């Protein structure tokens, strides 16, 4: 624990460290110890520790280990999109919901929260730009039984924020309206809920089973976050059209993406032009502030590979677009608009405290702490 305290002092100074002798599995115990120490020194601030795995498989293994090693901690899981850079499809709705739930949770953090928290993510997720923090902070919908709420207003909010209308609600992101009842399966919820209205008054919020449609419990409040990282409002649609024309020219006839957004319709893959809707985009670093970043072994190698992959995908799209710009079916944004550049990635890791896990013993040095973990007995 003495070395941990020394490490904590180095973190407070913004210094970077190598944590040696940390084999796979043991990293969860080390991260949990640091999370508790950070929370004890937070002095009323919401404390968060960020663990960056080299890929999704390693992230899941780390999360399972944390759940076993430290069930008292709050574990936030921020996954990467399940589609390739410059793809024609949108990320899976369930993944988008998980991402938006975490971003909303981070945006609403306040000084009254004392529970230690670990944010688990991957290199791919950390390198990708996300909706602006100020938009996530403002865009939510809260209600409780007895509140005056127009159902039409709630339906408009759901449509604007990526929810899909369905006859029967069974999957996350779906909603259904039947008279004065609105069924909804929101991100972060274990079961769908049923909102019962009497006129413009919300009378009750009940959880129900998606298969049997029977009520399973009552809720005292409702707190919704968007299903999609792209919000379609009059303002965002106008901003997109202006930015799209500035970026790619005024030849938009037959452009299915441009026409869909102009008509207020969601288009498959529109998230790959996310900055055009908001005028800017943030990164996960903006949401976590000066939180210490714990890098999985080989995470930086994975980042180098990812940057190369992004460039390859962009070059392929750009070559196709340049061959016939007027008829190009895909107009790609520059990589720096959607992802961290190599310089930004390096600068982000150098700006705040970064702790690199190594499964091996590393020669003693001022910036090395041996955590004493070994494989086997």
Two tokens, residue 168: 């029967």
pLDDT of residue 114: 56
pLDDT of residue 111: 47
The two beta strands, 48-53 and 368-370, are: unpaired
pLDDT band for position 211 (50/70/90)? confident
Alpha carbon distances (Å) from 288 to 39, 84, 224? 14, 25, 21
Return the percentage of the chain with pLDDT > 90, whole number: 60
Residue spans of beta strands (DSSP E) within 169-317: 174-178, 181-184, 193-198, 201-208, 215-219, 222-224, 293-295
- Say which residue the tokens 């792209």 belong to: 230
Return the percentage of the chain with pLDDT > 70, whole number: 96
In whole numbers, what is the pLDDT of the chain averaged over residues?
89
Q: Does position 105 have pLDDT exceeding 50, yes or no?
A: yes
pLDDT of residue 39: 78
DSSP category for residue 329: S
Other C-beta atoms closer than 10 Å to the C-beta of 353 total: 20
Mean pLDDT of 161-172: 89
Residue 363 CB-density burial (10 A; 0-12 exposed, 13-18 middle, 19+ buried): exposed
Find how far residue 80's CA is from the centre of its chain: 7
Question: What three-state secondary structure class fits 1?
Answer: coil
pLDDT tens per residue, range 149-162: 999 999 998 988 88
Q: What is the dihedral of CA 247, 253, 256, 259, to 10 degrees?
A: 80
Q: What is the dihedral of CA 57, 62, 65, 67, to 10 degrees?
A: -100
Q: Does position 331 have pLDDT exceeding 50, yes or no?
A: yes
Q: Does position 224 have pLDDT exceeding 70, yes or no?
A: yes
pTM of the predicted structure, to 2 decimals: 0.87
pLDDT tens per residue, range 298-329: 999 999 999 999 999 999 999 999 998 878 88
Rg (CA), the chain: 23
pLDDT band for position 46 (50/70/90)? low
HSE-CB for 366 with a 13 A CA cutoff: 4
pLDDT tens per residue, range 22-35: 998 899 999 998 88
Q: Does position 45 have pLDDT exceeding 80, yes or no?
A: no
Give 133-165 as a DSSP string.
HHHHHH--EEE-TT-B--HHHHHHHHHHTT-EE
Mean pLDDT of 238-251: 94
């Amino acid at each position: 624990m003495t070395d941990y305290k020394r490490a904590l002092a180095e973190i407070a100074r913004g210094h970077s460290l190598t944590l040696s002798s940390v084999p796979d599995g043991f990293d969860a115990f080390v991260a949990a110890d640091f999370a508790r120490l950070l929370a004890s020194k937070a002095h009323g601030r919401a404390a968060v520790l960020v663990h960056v795995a080299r890929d999704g498989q390693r992230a899941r293994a780390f999360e399972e280990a944390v759940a076993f090693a430290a069930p008292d901690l709050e574990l936030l899981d921020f996954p990467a999109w399940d589609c390739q850079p410059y793809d024609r499809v949108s990320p899976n709705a369930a993944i988008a919901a998980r991402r938006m739930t975490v971003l909303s949770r981070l945006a609403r953090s306040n000084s009254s929260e004392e529970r230690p928290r670990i944010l688990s993510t991957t290199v791919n997720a950390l390198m990708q730009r996300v909706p602006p923090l100020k938009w996530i902070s403002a865009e939510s919908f809260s209600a409780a039984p007895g509140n005056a709420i127009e159902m039409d207003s709630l339906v408009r909010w759901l449509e604007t924020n990526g929810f899909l209308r369905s006859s029967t609600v069974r999957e996350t992101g779906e909603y259904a309206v039947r008279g004065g009842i609105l069924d909804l399966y929101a991100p972060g919820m274990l079961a769908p809920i049923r909102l019962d209205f009497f006129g413009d008054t919300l009378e009750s919020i009940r959880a129900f089973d998606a298969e049997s449609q029977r009520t399973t419990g009552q809720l005292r409040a409702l707190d919704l976050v968007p299903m999609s990282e792209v919000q379609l409002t009059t303002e965002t649609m106008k901003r997109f059209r202006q930015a799209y024309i500035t970026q790619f020219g005024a030849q938009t006839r037959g452009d299915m993406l441009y026409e869909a957004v102009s008509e207020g319709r969601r288009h498959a893959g529109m998230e790959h032009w996310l900055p055009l809707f908001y005028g800017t985009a943030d990164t996960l670093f903006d949401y976590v502030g000066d939180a210490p970043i714990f890098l999985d072994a080989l995470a930086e190698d994975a980042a180098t590979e990812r940057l190369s992959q992004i460039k390859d995908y962009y070059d392929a799209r750009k070559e196709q677009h340049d061959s016939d710009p007027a008829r190009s079916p895909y107009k790609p944004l520059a990589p720096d608009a959607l992802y961290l550049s190599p310089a930004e990635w390096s600068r982000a890791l150098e700006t705040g405290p970064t702790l690199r896990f190594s499964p091996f013993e590393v020669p003693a040095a001022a910036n090395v702490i041996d955590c004493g973990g070994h494989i086997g007995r």
